[in-house]
Structure 1
Amino acid sequence: MEADQYLEMFLDESREHLQAVNDNILKLEKQPHDLDLVNEIFRSAHTLKGMAATMGYEDITSLTHKMENVLDMIRNRQLTVSTTIIDIVFSAIEYLEDMVKAIGEGNDGKKDVTGLVHQLDQIEKGGQVTTAAQSNTVEEENLINFDELGLDEFQITIIEQAKEQGFSPYQITVTLTDECILKGARAYMVFESLEEQGEIIRTNPSVEEIEEGDFAQSFSIIFLSKEGVDIIKTVIVKVSEVKEVEISNLASLSNVNQPSSDMPDYEEENTSSQIINEETAATIEKTTQAESSGHTSKTIRVNLEKIDDLLNLFEEVVIDRSRLEVIAESLSNQALTDTVEHMRRVSTDMQSLILAMRMVPIEQVFNRFPRMIRGLARDLNKKINLEIIGADTELDRTVIDEIGDPLVHLIRNSADHGIELPEIRKQSGKSEEGNLILRAFHSGNHVFIEIEDDGAGINRGKVQAKAIENGLISASEAEILTDDQIANFILSSGFSTADKVSNVSGRGVGLDVVKSKIESLGGQITIESKAGKGSVFSIQLPLTLSIIATLLVKVKQETYAVPLSSIIETVILKKKQMMYAHGKKVMDFRGKIVPLVSLAAVFDVQEEEESDTNVYSVVIVKKGEKLTGLIVDSFIGQKEVVLKSLGNYLKDVFAISGATILGDGEVALILDPNALIK
């Protein structure tokens, strides 16, 4: 088997099984007597072990094997779940995650797991065996053990699965005549004959040694077939120079450490000492799946790069669609207009479908946090209950890849600075256990992620003093700011009010990086806080980053696209309604003074002479609670556009996030309203 072609599948399924183990271990800690959870964990660990062994990742195999042994003792009531066991299993999960991640990055996935293996081994040896298990020992000693046949647990699992599907396991010993010269060729002919009747899952010696003739006169095979002994023997003796054939049915044999019948039904090891017919194995798998579920899966795995390539191609279709719309309008041809209109409807549906393919549940990010909170609570000597709401909320895969680290920092910050120690909470009339809520939900074309805690809130006095000390505001300015406005200063660069540095947070860096990362994704972060009640960190993110809805505006001879997600309203402002404050243009917008910014002045758009207009076209944009009016010459209309990067030579252009090609072939710059808001 070429392992490389299965690497992506191995990585995807390994991550899924590790997440399943992680989730169920957390549940098991709270429900230590729930054997259904133990069985779920066991199945995931067992499957991961089988896949790792097949791919040749020995460290993952050895560690999951030891985990599996401990879990097997728990589910057989030979061992009781304890905090120590949970801690060691969590450490093992972290090791496994590191190894899988390393494999995904192109490394060999090796890691020194001897310490953890030893700890798990000690747990296994120290487990208390129940009376029932002891009573079975004498009976088991009278049975032939599969181990005596040289079979490992992977091969035993295959045999058990095959037996459930009506196959019989046989041990076949073939002896060739003393005169046989081409022993390898004769052995190969035996293999060929047998494979028409069933499955060879192990040979002794190895396949390579047998085919090279590197054995005495006999070799043995473990064989799965639905045929009887006589038919199998007849097939083999037809091969010339076969002297003797001995066949034993292994169906009545037992294995002391045999896996239970509820093992996953899709593992097989494919090493140099095995010949696994993939077609037959797949048939067994499909049959089992059909019997258990009544239908076959209609889901396939698609490489993310292919979806990205598909989206890039569709972006070109969107550009051409806009071009055709302009041409159809100029020609006034009804047939062409009808065709373009149909193309617009179909392509709009295609766009929705492709974007939906890129959307993934945010639970892929959220799933890491329960274990993290468990560790933080222990490190900080706090009691913290984490509640996750809206984990099925979908977000663009590009955003998912980038949002994990900012969320980790915000959650660690809430656990460290927000939630108080149990004794302090008790003195304040709160429960000793602090509550941390991680919430996600859709609103319009955005996804909101909120991190809410019921801790002490943000200390206005400390933050205000630090902001004044850092020169961010003056003392007089601070007095007129709200608590939430003061709280948002903690997002400033190098801002920290921690009394001491901890290994969790308080190093004076981090939240400004969080803010920068979120804004680079086209999002924004705001803070609401009440002293003694807690804080809410709210992150607003766009659903997708590639095709966006915009308002096209005209500034002299230039066309700009303003993202609709940032627009509150468009206004026609009369000249007499324009006001001035501190020498700057402002307007009254629903009782609130809003600063005005001229795009012509910002981008130095040349005009022949000073215009003497009596009205101004204004786009009101927002960033959190801040509003700004952008003065333009006219509104063109709404348009979905493809966001294209300006490339390496035009990086970091002020207030420009990208460009797009319009239907008439003109290039329009896409504004970044966040940079223009005063």
Structure 2
Amino acid sequence: MDMNAYLSMFIDESNDHLQSLNENLLRLESEPEELSIVQTIFRSAHTLKGMSATMGYEDLAALTHEMENVLDLVRNSKLKMDSFIFDTLFKGLDALETMVQDIVGGGTGKADVTAIVTSLQLILKSDYSAGKAAQPPLEAAVTTVDGSTSASGGMLLDEFQSSILLQSIEAGLHVYHVHVTIRNNCLLKAVRAYMVFEVLERNGEVIKSVPSVQDIEQEKFDFTFSVFTISGLTQEELQGQLLNISEIEAIVVTALDSETLAVLSNAPAAAAAEAVEATVESSAVKPKAEIAREAAPRKGQAAPAPANVSRTIRVDIERLDMLMNLFSELLIDRVRLEQLSSEIKRSDLTETVEHMTRVSSDLQSIVLKLRMVPVDSVFNRFPRMIRDLAKSLDKKIELVITGADTELDRTVIDEIGDPLVHLLRNSVDHGIETVEERIAAGKPETGTIYLRAYHSGNHVFIEVEEDGRGIHHERVLKTAIKNGVVTEEQAKQLSPDEINMLIFAAGFSTADKISDISGRGVGLDVVKSKITSLGGNVTIDSAFGRGTKFSVQLPLTLSIISAMLIKLGSEKYAIPLSSIVETGILRKEQIINVHGNRMIEFRNGIIPLISLSKVLDSPDFNENDEDETEIVVVRKGEKWAAVMVDEFIGQSEIVLKSLGKYLTNIETISGATILGDGYVALIVDPNSLIK
């Protein structure tokens, strides 16, 4: 079998399992007594090990196996988690991620993990395991009905396993003994066994296997094995799914009740095996082909829908780019047809164009959604990072994430991760104080970092805010003058916001000692250049002693948006509809002055009034000549403003075109579009109008 055909699937699923392991280990660290979390972690590790072994990545499988051994003791209440165990497991996860990334790059997934394996084996061999040293030596083994071995004086099910199964039965859950027979001509019986376990774990939980999972993976069994499992499926459903696995000869699923379970729990392994054997023999053990014939629908009877059919496919991002570009051209032609239809005024043409408009609008919605990805795919790596950094710096830090379901275009998602890492590392290293400093300043000993994401118009804002030291302006200016970033004369003219932005200068740092985590400003110039290259910008709001907030503004980078077309004299502009709160007409007497700024009353409040003609230096329109003028109320987060315009043209779907690399510094304009009449209209960025 060519395993390369499954490489892409292996990589995707491995990354999913590694992310799940990271998230659940963090949960377990805060709730170390919650065994249900341990079970989830164990299942992810077990599945990852099986996948790796099947694909031939032995080093990956071996390390996961060692981690799984530790987790097995924890879930069976024979090992209590502590700081050393958590740190070792997290180091193991880091190594696994490195090995998977090596596979992504075309490597073999090999890495030197000797130190980690030694630590894991130390945990297993030391006195961590409760009562482990007092355990008696293994007794002589006897062969059970399954061809497996167990201690002659031992029990088929230990006390912990019996307790779980009994509680499940009493709770009304399905508890089964599953006996599996693999065809005797099967070449990869361990793979078939893995597929059986995958089905069982997807639909429930495996409590015990005979022989052990390790022996099955190493093919130390004949062609039969059995499993005790708790499942969400009925007896027939579970048997049907298992029979769908190729090269499985027969499956016997036996429902267990409390009485049968008591026999298995209290009798020695040999006697328990006889009880299981009697149960298996009393069941009609039928070959797979016969069961399949019986399960086939009779004539005139509809076949049941296949279970667990995959509803997703993976598509190359370049194909989505091509689809977006083609649809953009289609939209330009559609707008042109709409204009021609309104001029020609033929009913049949109008009806056809209206139908095409409705269909293309639905198509547009689908095309745009295909490219959107929640920022959670980036945010979910940060809790683990903050945990490790806080521990290395001996600080107490809580990370609060909001808006993780906010969606961004896939191309932006792929690029925004590294800038956010820089901002968060700086917040941990130089923003949040030590416990002693926070207590002395009258703050809680635990510092808080807020990571937020939200939509505002045609942009997404990502904020990194902490309640730490804040930026010391005098210290920043002193360093900037020393490094030649500004002169002393220039420094005297800078506003507080301009001083804050100095930390984005290349190589700028106020740190007395540059650590391997960050130095204030080290890497922040990279942050600014990366965000700028994405068509966004970053601002800073800081109060010394109270904290700092970095606000990153990013475009959705969608090619198609809904917009309000407006006129300023002879010029046409577009304002993204998603930024507009409402439109209206404003009379001169409604304008009020507050500290020299023009404002208007709006919804029981006062908002600033902005002259778009002055901002854009429109040559042939002056709102002062008008007794009343149209306004557009726009918003940026929680801030609102009223923008004065000359005339409304109407709403339209427009194709967003870049202004090119020579016009990247035009703050108020985010792009341009081609209208149906062939004219070019500039697209106004409302976020740049609101300060």
Range of TM-score over shorter length: 0.5 to 0.7
Pairing 1:360–2:373 present: yes
Alignment-derived partner of residue 158 in structure 2: none
What CA distance in whole angstroms lies between the structure 1 residues aligned with 2:57 and 2:637? 49
Aligned residue identity for 1:643 = L
Aligned residue identity for 1:109 = G
What CA distance in whole angstroms lies between the structure 1 residues aligned with 2:670 and 2:463? 26
8 Å Cα contact 1:587/1:594 also seen in 2 = no
Alignment-derived partner of residue 276 in structure 2: none
Change beyond 3 A, Cα 1:449–1:261: farther
SS in 1 for 2:211: coil
TM-superposition CA deviations, 1:478-521 (whole Å, max 9, x none)? 4xx4x556434434454433233222222643223323333433
Pairing 1:16–2:21 present: no
Map 1:578-589 onto structure 2 (within 5 A): none
Number of residues of Structure 1 aligned to a counterpart in Structure 2: 561
Alignment-derived partner of residue 417 in structure 1: 430
TM-score (norm 2): 0.67
What CA distance in whole angstroms lies between the structure 2 residues aligned with 1:495 and 1:549? 41
TM-superposition CA deviations, 1:182-228 (whole Å, max 9, x none)? xxxxxxxxx5xxxxxxx66449xx9xxxxxxxxxxxxxx99x99xxx
Pairing 1:338–2:341 present: no
What CA distance in whole angstroms lies between the structure 1 residues aligned with 2:442 and 2:210? 65
What CA distance in whole angstroms lies between the structure 2 residues aligned with 1:486 and 1:400? 30
Pairing 1:299–2:315 present: no
- Give the unaligned 5+ runs of structure 2: 150-175, 197-207, 217-226, 233-242, 252-287, 289-304, 588-595, 601-606
Alignment-derived partner of residue 523 in structure 1: 536
Aligned residue identity for 1:17 = H
8 Å Cα contact 1:322/1:662 also seen in 2 = yes
**How far did residue 167 of structure 1 move?**
3.6
Alignment-derived partner of residue 533 in structure 1: 546
RMSD after superposition: 5.0
**How far did residue 474 of structure 1 move?**
3.6
Aligned residue identity for 1:316 = E
Change beyond 3 A, Cα 1:455–1:294: farther
8 Å Cα contact 1:140/1:256 also seen in 2 = no
Change beyond 3 A, Cα 1:515–1:623: farther
SS in 1 for 2:33: coil
**How far did residue 313 of structure 1 move?**
3.4
TM-score (norm 1): 0.68
Alignment-derived partner of residue 457 in structure 1: 470
**How far did residue 332 of structure 1 move?**
0.8
Change beyond 3 A, Cα 1:123–1:476: closer
Alignment-derived partner of residue 676 in structure 2: 663
What CA distance in whole angstroms lies between the structure 2 residues aligned with 1:376 and 1:463? 25
- Within the candidate set 500, 505, 511, 1:498 is matched to 511
Change beyond 3 A, Cα 1:100–1:257: closer
**How far did residue 168 of structure 1 move?**
2.7
Aligned residue identity for 1:47 = T
Alignment-derived partner of residue 487 in structure 1: 500
**How far did residue 651 of structure 1 move?**
8.3
Alignment-derived partner of residue 234 in structure 1: none
Map 1:260-659 onto structure 2 (within 5 A): 261=228, 279=246, 296=308, 299-305=311-317, 306-466=319-479, 470-471=486-487, 474=490, 476-478=492-494, 481=495, 483-484=496-497, 486-506=499-519, 508-550=521-563, 552=565, 561=574, 636-645=649-658, 659=672
Aligned residue identity for 2:381 = R
Change beyond 3 A, Cα 1:526–1:507: closer
Pairing 1:53–2:49 present: no
8 Å Cα contact 1:414/1:453 also seen in 2 = yes
What CA distance in whole angstroms lies between the structure 2 residues aligned with 1:641 and 1:473? 47
What CA distance in whole angstroms lies between the structure 1 residues aligned with 2:488 and 2:686? 22
What CA distance in whole angstroms lies between the structure 2 residues aligned with 1:506 and 1:467? 15
SS in 1 for 2:323: helix
**How far did residue 19 of structure 1 move?**
0.5
**How far did residue 18 of structure 1 move?**
0.2
8 Å Cα contact 1:418/1:453 also seen in 2 = yes
Alignment-derived partner of residue 86 in structure 2: 86
Alignment-derived partner of residue 28 in structure 2: 28
Alignment-derived partner of residue 116 in structure 1: 116
The percent identity for this pair of structures is: 49
Aligned residue identity for 2:74 = I
**How far did residue 343 of structure 1 move?**
2.6
**How far did residue 419 of structure 1 move?**
0.9
- Give the unaligned 5+ runs of structure 1: 149-162, 173-190, 192-198, 207-220, 226-250, 266-275, 288-292, 575-585
SS in 1 for 2:110: coil
What CA distance in whole angstroms lies between the structure 2 residues aligned with 1:374 and 1:628? 40
SS in 1 for 2:408: strand
What CA distance in whole angstroms lies between the structure 1 residues aligned with 2:91 and 2:381? 14
Aligned residue identity for 1:639 = S
What CA distance in whole angstroms lies between the structure 1 residues aligned with 2:665 and 2:369? 31
